Amino acid sequence: MPDIVHVKYQQTGKSKSTNELGMREMQQKAFEARTAQYLLIKAPPASGKSRALMFIGLDKLINQGIKKVIVAVPERSIGSSFAKTDLKKYGFFADWEPNPRYNLCTPGVEKSKVTAFLNFLESDEKILICTHATLRFAFDAIDEKQLNDCLLAIDEFHHVSVDGDNKLGIVLSSIMDKSTAHVVAMTGSFFRGDSVPILLPEDEEKFIKVKYDYYQQLNGYNYLKSLGIGYHFYQGKYTSAIHEILDENKKTIIHIPSVNSGESEKDKYEEVNRILDGLGELDYQDPDTGVLYVKSKTTGKILKIADLVHDNQKDRDKIQDYLRKVSSVDDIDIIIALGMAKEGFDWPYCEHALTVGYRGSLTEIIQIIGRATRDSENKTHSQFTNLIAQPDAENDEVKLSVNNMLKAITASLLMEQVLAPNFKFKPKFPNDEDDDSEEDDNTIKINGFKLPSSQRAKDIIESDINDLKAKIMQDDTMLKAMPGNVDPEVINKVLIPKIIKETYPDLTDEEVEAVRQHVVVDSVIKNGTIEEVGDKRFIRMADSFVNIDDINIDLIDTINPFQKAFEILSKSVTASVFKAIQETIDATRITMTDEEAIILWPKIKNWIAKTGEQPRIQSFDPQERRLAEAIIFLKEQKRKAQANE
């Protein structure tokens, strides 16, 4: 099927060019905030977060009185991103030179990582690199004050959580509360994909945030010109369907599903074997590197394949070591992985990230797509494809499958907005001058639009808008409402503000409304298409084609910003499956509320005036059925009120 999302970039080279200190664009932004005690860097994969930390860490050691730098990464393989790095030759005032003894992610260092951690604190060494797990275990053996005047850098910060079972979250909160330690947190997304926040609001407010978005990164590349996001629905076993979309001529990472997912065939080794058998015949496995050499059944060429699914640690270390040293486009063709090769894994030549099964976390999707969005001269286009099980209309699991499909597609629609250029929205007033000389093409004025009045609301809009959209789009109530069976105004004016209030309970009603308007406007505008006709700009939103100068908030509130998800499904599955999807959604639809009924009442009157009859509960049109349900609801409310009288 064609891509759901296809974004083109200008290849300006800006995000890869360096200044006189050897810093790329994102690293410059981060370095400007280097004196902050608590710093959160939100930037996409390949933007240079690791080196940004080196610049900041060295400045804190040399110029800010910090005594030690501790870098914590989620798994050992990512530790190589923080190995010895020459920075002075590019203009910086110092090199990053950790003692190999205290890179606890390197095979062969001291067996007891906790002992090594404790020894480091007592030593004169300045830099330690360890895993999140080592940090957690070492924390049990130290007093927080031993981290006074230390910098703690946490890579892939989305692994932290305030959940009582998340030890890393407890460690961080305790360190912030009971020591003078500085913290630098780095992540591609601040959204975990579940309902548990990463930080408590009072802790999050302490962080200075540096944000660098996907569009800035990809638009500033030299080679990569476009990125596509698509879906392929299958029935039966995924190992029988995967070869329909697996192109052996593209450098590909395949992420097979978790054994706990519905797509898993419950034997990960056999799944790898079936993928290999579909590609061709195993010629041999290199005993030194672990690379599998497979003769293609279609072209006869030898494919070099890395298996990261196998659990044997010795074999895993071999192939990981080989992948770390990849320096040519011909060194590897396909990587098959389960939980690895997502975060911090660097294979610039990768063109296609092929993922089997629904991924509920926006962060995980961002990390996977990031494997294919490195800039490299071997590619002008990168592709993310999600292979998803199509619901079986006869299967009892259809409800779960429908929910997974909707969540997967809405996550991609959100990625479309993450990958697109950002717009600035301003209120439009009747007496506005026609002179827009101070405005750029990305500024849109909207009648009735509210700017945030507080710094708190401004910060949410500036830093958290995509993460908030992710929470909204994957909320269970929203999933039932998105496909068109709930009026757009109800979605925009009732459901979305309810989720905002739950996410940010400290906001006033006025602040909630400002954030709500920004979420809805940003979503609708980015899901539309802007076209220029003469000297005027028009935007196509849903079925409307509107002069941008005439946009008002009331018009935008009548548009379902997420309906595209259901339109994608309707064009991509068979009629019987689509019917099962509709019936499943109907069976779990949201209950009527007073707020929704109030919004629908004028629409009911308008319907009766237009058609001469009441909306029918048996209608095939989901919105007509919803209007009929509203009549029933209002009658019942009236009956209850009379009974009480």
Q: Which helix (H) or strand (E) holds 354?
A: strand 352-356
From 185, 138, 117, select the one nearest 157 (Cα to Cα).
185
pLDDT at residue 398 greater than cutoff 70? no
Most confident of 57-71, 153-167, 366-380, 596-610: 57-71
Tokens of 156: 């892939």
Q: How many residues does the chain have?
A: 645
Task: Return the amino acid letter for 614.
Answer: Q
Of 189, 171, 190, the closest CA to residue 181 belongs to 171
Cα-based angle 157, 74, 119 (whole degrees, multiple of 5): 105
Calculate what percentage of the chain has a pLDDT beyond 70.
84
Hey, which residues does 355 pair with through a beta bridge?
Answer: 255, 386
Give, as one character, the DSSP assignment of residue 614: P
Highest mean pLDDT pick, 3-7, 23-27, 413-417:
23-27
Query: What stretches of 561-612 show up as alpha helix (H) in DSSP?
Result: 564-572, 575-587, 594-611
Q: How far apart are CA 163 and CA 165, in angstroms?
A: 5
pLDDT band at 525 (very low <50, low <70, confident <90, very high): confident
**The pTM of the whole model exceeds 0.85:** no
φ/ψ of residue 381, rounded to 5: -135, 140
CB neighbours of residue 621 within 10 Å: 12
d(CA 556, CA 549) in angstroms, rounded, equals 13
Nearest to 448 by CA among 417, 472, 422, 425: 425
- C-beta of residue 279 within 8 angstroms of C-beta of residue 297: yes
Sheet holding 292-296, edge to edge: 5-8, 226-234, 381-389, 352-356, 252-255, 334-337, 302-307, 292-296, 280-285
Residue ranges per structural domain of the chain: 17-214, 220-389, 417-590
Average pLDDT, the chain: 84
Q: Give the Cα separation of 477 and 486 in Å (integer).
A: 11
> Do 421 and 415 contact (CB within 8 A), yes or no?
no
For position 437, what pLDDT does the model report? Answer: 45
Return phi, psi of residue 45, to 5°. -55, 145
Q: Which CATH architecture has domain 17-214?
A: 3-Layer(aba) Sandwich (3.40)
Does residue 605 or residue 433 have the better pLDDT? Answer: 605
- Residue 422 has what pLDDT? 77
For the ranges 263-277, 466-480, 569-583, the lowest mean pLDDT is seen at: 569-583
- 192-206, 382-396, 630-644: which range is least confident on average? 192-206
What's at 473, amino acid-wise? Answer: M
Is 344 or 158 the better-scoring residue by pLDDT? 158
Q: What is the pLDDT of residues 489-524, one digit of tens each?
A: 888 998 999 999 988 888 999 999 999 999 998 888
Mean pLDDT of 426-435: 70
- Most confident range, picked from 14-23, 472-481, 611-620: 14-23
Q: Do domains 17-214 and 220-389 have the same CATH topology?
A: yes
Query: How many helical (H) and strand (E) elements, i.e. helices and strands, does the chain have?
Result: 23, 20
Which residues, at least 6 apart from 141, have a Cβ–Cβ distance to it below 8 Å?
114, 118
* Inter-CA distances, 312 with 290, 319, 614, Å: 11, 11, 67
In whole angstroms, how large is the CA radius of gyration of the chain? 27
- Residues 331 and 311: their CA atoms lie apart, in Å, by 23
The residue type found at 371 is R
**Triad 364, 369, 373: Cα angle to 5°:** 145
In CATH, the number for domain 220-389 is 3.40.50.300
Mean pLDDT of 526-533: 77
Distance CA 230, CA 220 (A): 23
